[in-house]
Amino acid sequence: MGIAVIGGGVAGITAALDLADSGYKVHLIEKNAELGGKMEELAECQMGLSPYIAKVENHPNINLMLSSELERLSGTAGDFKLSVSGNEVGVESVVLAPGYDIPEVAKSYGYGSPDVVVSLDFEGMLKAATVSETGELVRPSDGKRVKKLGFIKCVGSRCQENEICSTACCAYTAKEAWEVKERFPDIEIYIFYMDIRVFGKDEELVAELKDKYGVKYIRSRVPEVIPEEGALTVKFENLEKGTIEKLDLDMVVLAVGLLPSKTLSKLAEITGVKTDKYGYIETSLTSPLETSVPGILACGTATAPMKVRESVAQASGAALKAAGLSQRTEPIPGQEEHKYIEVGDELKTGVFICGCEGEIANSIDIPAVVERVSELKDVVYVNSETNTLQEAMDAIESGIVDQGLNRIVFAGQSPRECEDIVRDACAGAGLNPYLLEMVNLREQCAWVQGPKDATEAAVDMLKMAVERAKYLEEIPVERYPVIPKALVIGGGISGMNAALGIADAGYEVHLVDKGAELGGGLRESTELPGPGGEQAADVLKELVDKVTANERINVYTKVKEEKVVGRAGSFKAKIVAEGSAEDVEIEFGACVIATGARRDFVPEGYFGYGKEKNVTTVSEFVKMLAGKLDANTIALIQDVPGEGVTARYSSIEVVDSALKAKEKNPDANVFVLYQDIKTYGKWEVLYKDAREKGVIFLRYDKEKPPKYEDGIVSVYDVIFNDEIQIKPDLVVLSTPAMPAEANERLSEMFRIPLKNGFFMEKPERPKMVLTPVDTVNEGVFICGSAVYPAMIDECLAMSSAAASRACVLLAKDFLETPAMTSVVDEEICVGCGVCEAICPVEAIELTEEPVPVVTFGVTTVVGRTKKVAKVGEGCIGCGSCASYCPSSAMSLKYFRDKQVYAQLDYAV
Amino acid sequence: MGEETTKKEEEEFEPKIVGFTCNWCTYAAADLAGTSRKKYPPNSRIIRLMCSARLDPMFVLKALLNGADGVFFSGCHPGECHYIKGNYYARRRIAAIRTILKQLGLDNRFKSYWISASEGEKFANTMKGLTEEIKELGPSPLRGKIL
């Protein structure tokens, strides 16, 4: 059978690809005629997502059902029957990813005036500005250049109609402001906000906006925007002066919140999944992906408002859980062993020009191009009949099989989108896939140049490609077996969850932890945040029991891992026990790093911590809450300075414990001193509850931090505009979280860069996070607080995602050695060692090799040896060594000197 | 140039420019310029390299010797390299290339940029500016002389 994924946005696409890539049949159901969801409306995201969309559209294991809606669902987990726009589909499990919609905006913010727009429309305006004649950002009402631009945050969220926080708006507003400032530096920007709820990289972006770009962040809930005589007057409260002020702006962007997709209520009705009081699919802190109906998983903005990073992590995680209920029925693409035809000396180049559904044919005179390309030497076949990628692939395959073509030049959409697909087509037809040269006729020609210029450019580009194709060579690709085992480093909640996920998928797991017992950081916790009152110990016990009972998981405690060698699919490492001379050697195909974060930062001396008995930290305070609390005045201080980062759970924990203290002891005075309360998403309700129950929140400026002297906390409250003094019985400090100690060692061993001590995901271009658990080292995945200190639900979703990505890899029987790597001509190499010194991944070694001597045609090896560079398995194909080698002994396959020179000869 | 008269060609010098870009940043930026239909002059021919580290000084010299009026290179912003530190290596090479080109009086025909994948706009504007600059410089002294 298979798995149904409902929703073709970024979450649905991610889930579908993870499943299809590991051999499951996927029915991807999207109500619109196109894939991409809301991401398609964002220029940059569209760019980043397009290769994934192309992959979905051409995936043999995905049955794409566009313009289709789920009408009925019956059956139970393992045997669901779906009726989708009249078609019957049988599946074993279902992933719901219907996404979000934006709220209807009330007229109050001047909405209705053409110059007041919501953020998604503003993205459209930025795109329109790009293609407009002047390239300027202009006001919709009169076409004049925008000089003063305002953003109002929290529109349609953190309000009566929608009391929760929409999580994503703070970051997307910062990104939009940044884009405006980069493109139109003269535009003044004002951002009205309540709290800035950003973490990590986004925090840095906001700081940069304030300091470098001069963006004014104004803390005030704007009561109204008055459109009048060509200006928009924004009224706001100046907190510093305590006065109501007016500001005239040219344009206002309303950073609207995220609501559950409009289709969600109907979807919930059809599938029977429970929704929460906000209309989101109900999930829980300890099972963030499971719905109330077994066999139906949920992910992305259908479960809570969130950013792309969290959405795709949930999507991968949900895919893993859905796969666990399903049977693999399909072959995994790219696993068949190819027998490539012998390519003789005779060049037979075939040129394939795809019309891309008119996109290319509209600007380029294809017949003229064909005529001129046909005249080129060695071009034996030109095809310009195809209009879609699929048609082009069929044409290429028959060209290779029927016409015996041995060089393929494909001109169409960008290779960033389709190079892999075209390579597969060549390989499928028996031609070594590196005898293919791509021409970017759509993005870099048809779309950017006038008709006449485009045709000329197209001819040039094709000539360059045909010439380069002559010098392409077959790159032998070796297959090596994938070791169907995983190594999971870290036995905390993330590590255990990842290990269980991988083990349940049928693979053996080595789970290692430096501690004596499993459980990690959560062992220090007691009651989890939120009204559920779940105990960390119960959550842990369940996981530990499952892990210990699982036969496929080998647990090693009090150990560390050393000497990792190999590449994705085939790693080796040593597990060294503390104080033991015996090492265990293990082999594995994938690795998940889940080292967590440390909470043992000691704010020594701060507020007299360590000396004064009544000064404690939040984690200690949470434990105190379990017992009798005899404190009548409690001051919780958020954002205590120190090394480390502000955890995503930091505010939640402060507000939750303040609320619990107040509930426990209603007469107590509970104060929270803060800079920003970051209770994102549904956690906002805790903040609201706490205020309603009488917890007093006092905001201080970074420049005027609270002081503690003689038992008195004094803080300059920016809302009262005066100093407030509190004499607390108990001071509770919320301290930063720190990276695990092992991170640095692991970072070096696995060659994964760190940021502030935490692991960095694979950088993506454009800058977006579609693969939040993948790293630059293929086959090594990261999750949980090892990436950024996060809440339990996020750690669980992310570790399931890491397990899912690991399983995609482990599902393969074979992997191919990377083709684009460096090779040494040993005869020329003089062993100078330049390459060894500059290789960014230390993949090159100098070895001592015997020098062969040829006498009268007979090769003999005499005693003499010389130093020769050897390219090892780690080569990532950057080409540094090839361009630095002083004797040209080193070359990068597919980018050899002669291949680039060939292009150059026809470039001018 | 089919229908265009030789006279017009003389009037308006259309430079030939060769550009080397890395696959992950600037090549993607050029794609983004396309996706957003940002028009720019047709004078540049782009050669895709996986990483800026592959930029061999010989490529630049060869392009100029072939008669290119301008050559440019563009990669990821420093610190953002897909291959960890390839663009830092490229930066060193560029400095070296400049010294050589200075000796030959060609250094003003070689430009380098950092354009990230999200900067489609910047790519298109760079192409415009570069074409103008090279137009002002006039044809390369090597044009038609060698090869």
Where in the sequence is the domain holding B69, given as residue range(s)? 13-137
Is A585 inside a domain boundary? yes
- Residues β-bridged to residue A216: A190
- Across the interface, of B34, B41, B58, the residue whose CB is closest to A442 is B34
Q: Looking at the predicted structure, is the pLDDT value of residue B80 above 80?
A: no
The CA-based angle A879-A570-A330, given to 5 degrees, is 100
Is A191 inside a domain boundary? yes
pLDDT of A716-758, one tens digit each?
A: 988 778 899 999 999 999 999 999 999 999 998 888 888 899 9
pLDDT in the model for residue A47: 66
Is A897 inside a domain boundary? no
The CA-based angle A179-A180-A184, given to 5 degrees, is 125
- Cα–Cα distance between A321 and A697 in angstroms, integer? 41
Phi and psi at residue A810, to the nearest 5°: -70, -20
Residue after which a domain boundary falls, among A446, A470, A494: A470
C-beta separation of A799 from A543 below 8 A: no
Structural domain total, chain B = 1
The maximal CA–CA distance of chain A, rounded, in angstroms, is 103
Q: In chain A, pLDDT over 90 holds for what percent of residues?
A: 65
Residue to test with chain B: of A369, A419, A880, most B Cβ within 10 A:
A880
Where in the sequence is the domain holding A873, given as residue range(s)? 822-892
Pairing of strands A349-353, A379-383: parallel
Is A397 inside a domain boundary? yes
Is B18 inside a domain boundary? yes
Taking CA–CA distances from A468, the nearest residue in chain B reads B47
Predicted confidence band of residue A767 (pLDDT cuts 50, 70, 90): low
Cross-chain residue pair B55–A767, CB shorter than 8 Å: no
HEC secondary structure over A718-784: CCCCEEEEECCCEEEECCCEEECCCHHHHHHHHCCCEECCEECCCCCCCCCCCCCCECCCCCEEECH
Cross-chain residue pair A43–B38, CB shorter than 8 Å: no
- Across the interface, of B18, B34, B68, the residue whose CB is closest to A443 is B34
C-beta separation of A607 from A733 below 8 A: yes
pLDDT of B55-68, one tens digit each?
A: 999 999 999 999 99
* B28 close contact with A: CB closer than 8 A: yes
- Across the interface, of B18, B37, B82, the residue whose CB is closest to A908 is B18
CATH number of A244's domain: 3.50.50.60
Predicted confidence band of residue A582 (pLDDT cuts 50, 70, 90): confident
Residue after which a domain boundary falls, among A411, A437, A470: A470
Pairing of strands A730-733, A615-617: parallel
Question: What 3-state class would DSSP assign to A424?
Answer: helix
Closest CA–CA distance from residue A41 to any residue of chain B (Å): 12
Residue to test with chain B: of A50, A201, A448, most B Cβ within 10 A:
A448
| Residue B50: alpha-carbon gap to chain centroid | 16
Cα Rg of chain A, angstroms: 30
Could you give the angle at which helices A897-907 and B57-65 cross, rounded to 10 degrees? 30
Contacting A residues, span 841-880, partner chain B, CB-CB under 8 Å: 841, 876-880
Q: Looking at the predicted structure, is the pLDDT value of residue B4 above 50?
A: no
Closest CA–CA distance from residue A587 to any residue of chain B (Å): 26
Q: Looking at the predicted structure, is the pLDDT value of residue B5 above 80?
A: no
pLDDT in the model for residue B134: 96
Cross-chain residue pair A907–B68, CB shorter than 8 Å: yes
Shared-domain flag, residues A51 and A117: no
pLDDT of A196-251, one tens digit each?
A: 999 988 999 999 999 999 999 998 888 889 988 778 999 998 877 778 899 999 99
CATH number of A884's domain: 3.30.70.20
pLDDT in the model for residue A130: 66
| Peptide bond connecting A476 to the previous residue in cis, omega within 30 degrees of 0 | no
* A451 close contact with B: CB closer than 8 A: no
Is A582 inside a domain boundary? yes
Q: In what order do the strands lie in the sheet with A722-726?
A: A707-709, A712-717, A722-726
Mean residue pLDDT of chain A comes to: 91
Contacting B residues, span 106-145, partner chain A, CB-CB under 8 Å: 116-121, 124
Q: Which residue has the tokens 């924004």?
A: A234
CATH number of A422's domain: 3.40.50.960
Q: Show residues of chain B in contact with A895, CB under 8 Å.
A: 49-50, 54
Cross-chain residue pair A450–B39, CB shorter than 8 Å: yes
State the ipTM, two decimals: 0.93
* A46 close contact with B: CB closer than 8 A: yes
- Across residues A559-568, what is the average pLDDT? 85
Q: Show residues of chain B in contact with A47, CB under 8 Å.
A: 28, 31-32, 35, 117-118, 120
Shared-domain flag, residues A625 and A720: yes
- Across the interface, of B23, B38, B121, the residue whose CB is closest to A448 is B38
Shared-domain flag, residues A672 and A793: no
Closest by CA to A373, choosing from A439, A466, A453, A446, is A466
pLDDT of A583-641, one tens digit each?
A: 889 999 999 999 999 988 888 888 888 888 899 999 889 989 888 888 899 999 998 88
Closest CA–CA distance from residue B55 to any residue of chain A (Å): 6
Residue to test with chain A: of B23, B43, B45, B115, most A Cβ within 10 A:
B45
pLDDT in the model for residue B3: 47
Is A898 inside a domain boundary? no
* A66 close contact with B: CB closer than 8 A: no
- Cα–Cα distance between A200 and A645 in angstroms, integer? 8
- Cα–Cα distance between A125 and A630 in angstroms, integer? 58
Shared-domain flag, residues A250 and A382: no
Cross-chain residue pair B42–A905, CB shorter than 8 Å: no
Q: Looking at the predicted structure, is the pLDDT value of residue A766 above 70?
A: no
Pairing of strands A758-759, A754-755: antiparallel
Is B6 inside a domain boundary? no
Is A769 inside a domain boundary? yes
pLDDT of A812-830, one tens digit each?
A: 999 988 899 999 998 899 9
- Return the C-alpha torsion angle A883, A887, A888, A889, nearest 10: -120
C-beta separation of A514 from A558 below 8 A: yes
Shared-domain flag, residues A666 and A732: yes
pLDDT in the model for residue A860: 75
Closest CA–CA distance from residue A477 to any residue of chain B (Å): 19
Structural domain total, chain A = 6
Pairing of strands A100-101, A780-782: unpaired
pLDDT of B87-142, one tens digit each?
A: 888 888 899 899 999 998 999 999 999 998 878 888 999 999 999 999 999 999 88
Shared-domain flag, residues A253 and A124: yes
Amino acid letter, residue A814: F
Q: In what order do the strands lie in the sheet with A251-256?
A: A116-118, A251-256, A148-155, A188-193, A216-219
Shared-domain flag, residues A749 and A806: yes
Residue to test with chain A: of B56, B82, B94, most A Cβ within 10 A:
B56
Shared-domain flag, residues A454 and A385: yes
- Cα–Cα distance between A773 and A569 in angstroms, integer? 17
Residue after which a domain boundary falls, among A766, A785, A811: A811
Q: Looking at the predicted structure, is the pLDDT value of residue A434 above 70?
A: yes
Is B83 inside a domain boundary? yes
Q: Show residues of chain B in contact with A414, CB under 8 Å.
A: 31, 34
Cross-chain residue pair B50–A878, CB shorter than 8 Å: yes
Cross-chain residue pair A895–B50, CB shorter than 8 Å: yes
Closest by CA to A258, choosing from A214, A292, A303, A289, is A303
Q: And the tokens for A638?
A: 């958020």
Taking CA–CA distances from B79, the nearest residue in chain A reads A763
Shared-domain flag, residues A19 and A73: yes
Q: Looking at the predicted structure, is the pLDDT value of residue A100 above 70?
A: yes
Q: Looking at the predicted structure, is the pLDDT value of residue B79 above 70?
A: yes
Is A475 inside a domain boundary? no
Closest CA–CA distance from residue A438 to any residue of chain B (Å): 10
C-beta separation of A760 from A768 below 8 A: no
Is B2 inside a domain boundary? no
Q: Which residue has the tokens 């008269």?
A: B5
Q: Looking at the predicted structure, is the pLDDT value of residue A710 above 90?
A: no
Shared-domain flag, residues A122 and A245: yes
Cross-chain residue pair A464–B45, CB shorter than 8 Å: yes
Q: Looking at the predicted structure, is the pLDDT value of residue B9 above 60?
A: no
User: Worst-scoring range by mean pLDDT, A30-39, A252-261, A634-643, B81-90?
Assistant: B81-90
Cross-chain residue pair B67–A908, CB shorter than 8 Å: yes
Shared-domain flag, residues A171 and A285: no
Shared-domain flag, residues A611 and A713: yes
Which residues does A579 contact at the CB level (< 8 Å), separation at least 6?
none
Q: And the tokens for A882?
A: 């090839």
Closest CA–CA distance from residue A361 to any residue of chain B (Å): 15
- Cα–Cα distance between A713 and A612 in angstroms, integer? 13
pLDDT of A104-163, one tens digit each?
A: 876 778 888 899 999 988 988 887 776 677 778 899 888 899 999 999 999 988 988 889
Is B145 inside a domain boundary? no
CATH number of B121's domain: 3.40.50
* A415 close contact with B: CB closer than 8 A: yes
Closest CA–CA distance from residue A437 to any residue of chain B (Å): 11
Pairing of strands A738-739, A597-598: antiparallel
Interface size, chain A vs chain B, as Cβ–Cβ contacts under 8 Å: 173
pLDDT of A40-55, one tens digit each?
A: 777 667 667 878 998 9
- Cα–Cα distance between A561 and A749 in angstroms, integer? 10
pLDDT greater at residue A97 or residue A843: A97
